[in-house]
Amino acid sequence: MTAVAPTPAAYPVSDHVLDNGLRVLVSPDHGAPVVAVNLWYDVGSRDEEPGRTGFAHLFEHVMFQGSANVASGAHIGLLQAAGASVNATTWFDRTNYFETLPVGGLDLALWLEADRMGSLLDALTEENLNTQREVVKEEKRQRYDNVPYGDVMQRLNSLTFPAEHPYGHTTIGSMDDLDAASLEDAHTFFKKHYLPNNAVVSVVGDVTVEHALARVEHYFGGLTAGELPAHPQAGVLGPLDGTQREETSADVPAEAVYLAWRLPARGTRAFDALDLFFSVLGHGQTSRLHRSLVRDAEVAESSGAASTGLIGGNSFGYAYARARGGQELAEVEDALVAQVDRLAAEGPTPTELQRAKAQYERHWLHELSRVDSRADALSEYATLEHDPGLVNTRMAEVDAVGAEDVAAAVAEWFSSDRRATLVYRKASA
Amino acid sequence: MSTSDRTTSWQADPQPGVAAPGAWSFPEPTLSTLGNGIELVCFDLPGQHVVSAHLVLDTPLNGEDRDLEGVATIAARTMDEGTQAHPGEEFAELLETEGAGFGIEVSLSGLQAVLDVPASHLERAFELFAEAVTQPQISDADAARHVQIRLAQIEQAYANSAQLASMAFRESVFAPSSRASRMSGGEAASVTRVDGAAARRFHAEHVGPAGASLVLAGDFGGVDPQALAERWFGGWSNDAQVRTPHEQTTPAPRRHVVLHRAGAVQADVRYGGFGIDRSDPRWPAASVATYAMGGAFLSRLNAVLREEKGYTYGVRMSLTPLRSAGSFNIGGSFRTDVVADAVRLAAELADVSDRPFTAAEVADAVTYSTGISPLRYATADGVADQAAVNRLVGLGDDYVTRNLAELRDVTPEAATQAYGSLVHVDALTLVVVGDADVIADPLRALGFDDLEVVRAEG
């Protein structure tokens, strides 16, 4: 039984490395007169120094504060005025910068990206850093501190990984560490990580390989490589031992319980197997958790499960249920644990596994149908797994995961005592 | 490879120019009519392997009974919880096994049933799609459960500062007689009254082929979309279907209010008023002006409140059109100690009487809007979403292309004039959700003398 449709034609991927080590991926697509430019720097929150959590993300903001030939804020201003959508994100394993715009703006986009890769520090001032520090603190308040359950991910990370582990803190970091970040930190960080040989640039859209490559070479070729920084070596941690448990309370409308697991790193058959397992457990209306907790027993108002693939030795996964009004949270936790244990013990049915793959396929095809997300996928697979061709082979890899792979991965990582528990209660008024 | 001090060796070219964008227009659909009158709007998009289908139903929410508001949402959410042919969980299992995503979106102007599915699974998924819309089971148990889930969602929304601000703004800017003043999914008092019988009655009386459009977009992989639509929807009839005229939304008197959240580290601000819809002749000029004021990254508002002051992660001014009329607001989250100063600056910046929009601002807004269109409409679901909205609010299938042409004709004078006709800074409604003990007095000191403070009970 297979869930996979006849494969659409493979996307062209042209893979080059400039003399300075910058990896360049070009994928022509003449469907619309637009081009996506996407850069991944191989630096994320896992690379932060002790006492500087949140710095990689703060630095992403600093990257928009101008460079030798670009005024503060002008990076986005110039691109938007050329019809671009522009943004950047920071995550455990990466910082990416991207813009998609009418193809006549390709040179502008490349020039802007090269200028900041080459000369960011020429323009960086204490004042700019301080303003962006305030902006980032507002972002933290808006997205985490002033919303119900906003601290859950930080708590789950702390339960799942030791504090000093690269994944032991979240990307947003702490207010104290943001306050402590100095101009000197920014100089050191830039010189260490923002190197052409620590980056990948992908160009996808209405271009030829020759033209795109020549323009990238023209703007980035003059940059000088540096010593490639090493990522912190945390090794591979084994599963949790089941003793991690935390109870917290806050002003939230419903009580909730979360379970978290250490998982194997992405890019492995075991991770793919567990990713499908989490999908069966908690993704969609037919998932085990929704059916049992929300639909049948009616003890939860919502439930779910998801995995986060990470490259540095381990990944992370969690499941949750939010109690229906009047339900004892202990009963909700028991019901959640019972479903997790049951699925771990019996494994997904063949239909459930097929369904998880079919859902993966739709998300995957949808992701690749846009030039911007295709460019991001190329940069991602080149940076983390050193194989941009995965955009064409990934679906077959996932489809090849069998019930025996799921059983083996579950046995190693998922038995019932290998999780952490977070109990989230309503604060008493 | 060698290491050197990169900060001193960098030599850059002068800033490159930008070549004029290539011609682009929104895809043109093939139009036809099914046997039962459903209008088919079909986009053949080669290479788009996930097909998107939107069935747009002419069911404006002002057709709900006032004391059963939310019934459309409960009906919509139970429609894929089992059908007469495939009761209970079996239905969702079949649909998800095809790799399909299905949902029913509820908006003020009507419902949209949405299917996304890989082209290779289109036939079977489409059959199930039609089944959910035309012959849902809507059991008492499913409706009761969705009422409880909806009530929990309402509680979650009230606990979220930003959502609470948006709800309170909507309630403040539209008259209580307008359905638009209340949540599309219904408020707690009316949702509580909904049961299975009410949801089934709503489906029976309001969901039918009259006035419906079916939008299909994607690479159909050899399947004839017209025949497909006819096969699964062409025989659908509903003699009991009642058509509801769409409401004319009306404004409420302006209001200044703080909703108290003790100890909140930020305050969510919504500062704006009653506005226009996309059929208003001022729409293109007003959207250009709004982008310059609060849409661009370096907009007048964001350049000062974020990039200069560091008061916020971002401030936006946006137009929110309904089918008739709409609203506009300046919105953002600001840390508690600066919120009054942020409102003061926003009010100052929002007044353009001495600072009309410039030719450069207008040119940037137009290039931005035209530039992002090819990307926004690059996928089957992007095209289908917009085409469905065009049908839902009666804009015409050529709306996007027509609007882009009109944008190119906007002058700085027209932008300033359209903006000035909408935004009277002294007459705007202000809603702030935050710690009233800290922010109310500074706001009153700005001249909001009639500021109400609302404190939740308990």
Q: Is B281 exposed, middle or buried (0-12, 13-18, 19+ CB in 10 A)?
A: exposed
The residue that leads in pLDDT, B422 or B4, is B422
Q: How confident is the model at residue B458 (pLDDT cuts 50, 70, 90)?
A: very low
Angle ∠(B37,B39,B40) on CA atoms, nearest 5? 130
For position B206, what pLDDT does the model report? Answer: 97
CA distance B177 to chain A (A): 30
A284 touches chain B (CB under 8 A): yes
Q: Which residue of B18, B160, B308 is in closest CB contact with A104?
A: B18
Angle, nearest 10°, between helix axes B283-294 and B412-422? 90
CA B162: distance to chain centroid?
A: 16
Q: How many CA atoms lie within 13 A of B142 on its CB side?
A: 25
Q: What is the pLDDT of residue A1?
A: 33
Query: Does residue B76 contact residue B111 with C-beta atoms inside 8 Å?
Result: yes
Option in B15, B23, B311 nearest A69 (CB): B15
Residue A416 burial by Cβ neighbours in a 10 Å radius (0-12, 13-18, 19+): middle
Tell me, yes or no, if A392 comes closer than 8 A to chain B by beta carbon: no
User: Which residues from A are below 8 Å from B104, CB to CB?
Assistant: none
Smallest Cα distance from B337 to chain A, Å: 12
| CB-CB neighbors (< 8 A) of B155 in chain A | 253-254
SS3 A151: coil
| Residue A241, burial from CB neighbour count under 10 angstroms (0-12, 13-18, 19+) | exposed
Token pair in block for residue A372 = 């911007």
Helix segments in B211-299, DSSP class H = 225-233, 283-294
pLDDT given at position B3: 40
Residue B402 scores a pLDDT above 80: yes
Does A5 contact B118 at a Cβ distance shorter than 8 Å? Answer: yes
Q: Report chain A residues whose CB lies below 8 A from the CB of B98.
A: 358
Best probe of the A interface among B307, B337, B381, B404, by most A CBs < 10 A, is: B307
Both ends of chain A: CA-CA distance in Å? 55
- Chain A hits for B121, CB-CB cut-off 8 Å, are 5, 358
Task: Please say whether the dihedral angle defined by the alpha carbons of residues B133, B136, B140 and B145, taken in this order, is positive or negative.
Answer: negative
Q: How far is A382 from chain B (nearest CA, A)?
A: 21
**What is the distance between the alpha carbons of residues A326 and A345, in angstroms, rounded to a whole number?**
30
Three-state SS at B58:
coil
How far is residue B282's CA from residue A381's CA, in Å, rounded to a whole number?
47
Report d(CA B198, CA A216) in Å as an integer.
62
- Of A42-51, A331-340, B1-10, least confident by mean pLDDT is B1-10
Nearest neighbour of A362 by CB, restricted to B99, B308, B363: B99
A:B CB pairs within 8 Å: 264
CATH of B256-454, one of 3.50.50.60, 3.30.1330.40, 3.30.830.10, 3.40.630.30: 3.30.830.10
Kindly report the CATH class assigned to A14-220.
Answer: alpha beta
- Closest partner residue to B313 (CB to CB) among A20, A139, A148 is A139
Token pair of A327, please? 């339900």
Summarised one tens digit per residue, pLDDT across range B101-120 is 999 999 999 999 999 999 99
Supply the pLDDT for residue A413: 94
Return d(Cα B233, Cα B209) in angstroms, integer.
9
A160-189 residue pLDDT tens = 999 999 999 999 999 999 999 999 999 999
Q: Who among B6, B17, B20 is closest to A224 (CB)?
A: B6
Interatomic CA distance for residues A199 and B23, integer angstroms: 33
When CB atoms are compared, the residue of B149, B367, B372 closest to A301 is: B149
According to CATH, where is 3.30.830.10 located in chain B?
30-233, 256-454
Sign of the torsion angle spanned by Cα atoms B269, B274, B275, B276: positive
Question: Does B378 sit within 8 Å of A369, measured CB to CB?
Answer: yes
Q: Which CATH architecture has domain B30-233?
A: 2-Layer Sandwich (3.30)
Q: Which residues of A touch B333 (CB under 8 A)?
A: 138, 141-142, 146
Contacts of A69 in chain B (CB under 8 A): 12, 14-15
Contact A142 B266 (CB under 8 A): yes
Query: Please, which pLDDT band fits residue B7 given cuts at 50, 70 and 90?
Result: very low
Confidence of residue A429 (pLDDT cuts 50, 70, 90): low
Digit-coded pLDDT (tens) for A398-415: 999 999 999 999 999 987
Q: Average pLDDT of B272-288?
A: 98
Cβ–Cβ < 8 Å for A387, A212: no
Q: What is the pLDDT of residue A8?
A: 63
Tell me the pairing of strands A94-102 and A34-41.
antiparallel
Mean pLDDT confidence for B72-79: 97
Interval B367-387: pLDDT, tens: 999 999 998 998 999 999 999
Interchain CB contact of B222 with A (< 8 Å): no
pTM (two decimals): 0.95
In a 13 Å sphere around the CA of B93, the CA atoms on its Cβ side amount to: 12
pLDDT tens digits, one per residue of B143-202: 999 999 999 999 999 999 999 999 999 999 999 999 999 999 999 999 999 999 999 999
Residues 64 through 123 of chain A touching chain B, CB cutoff 8 Å: 68-69, 72-74, 76-78, 80-86, 100-105, 107-108, 111, 114-115, 118-119, 121-122
Which of B1, B4, B378 is facing A371, going by the closest CB pair?
B378
CATH number given to A245-426? 3.30.830.10
Contact between A22 and A223 (Cβ < 8 Å): yes
What is the average pLDDT across A75-86? Answer: 96
On whether any CB of chain A is under 8 Å from the CB of B80, the answer is yes
Q: In terms of CA atoms, which chain B residue is nearest residue A70?
A: B15
B331 to chain A, closest Cα gap in Å: 13
The distance of A193 to chain B (nearest Cα, Å) reads 12
> For residue range B42-66, what is the model confidence (pLDDT) as tens digits?
999 998 999 999 999 999 999 999 9
A325 CA: distance to closest CA in chain B (Å): 8
- Identify the band that residue A383 occupies on the pLDDT scale cut at 50, 70 and 90: very high
Neighbours of B134 (CB within 10 A): 21
Nearest to A5 among B24, B121, B162 (CB): B121
CB atoms B378 and A365 under 8 Å = no
Residues of chain A with CATH 3.30.830.10: 14-220, 245-426
Put simply, whether A251 touches B (Cβ < 8 Å) is yes
Give the per-residue pLDDT at B9: 65
Is residue B8 scored above 60 in pLDDT?
A: no
**Which among B51, B123, B298, B362 is the top mutation candidate for probing chain A, defined by the most A β-carbons within 10 Å of its own β-carbon?**
B298
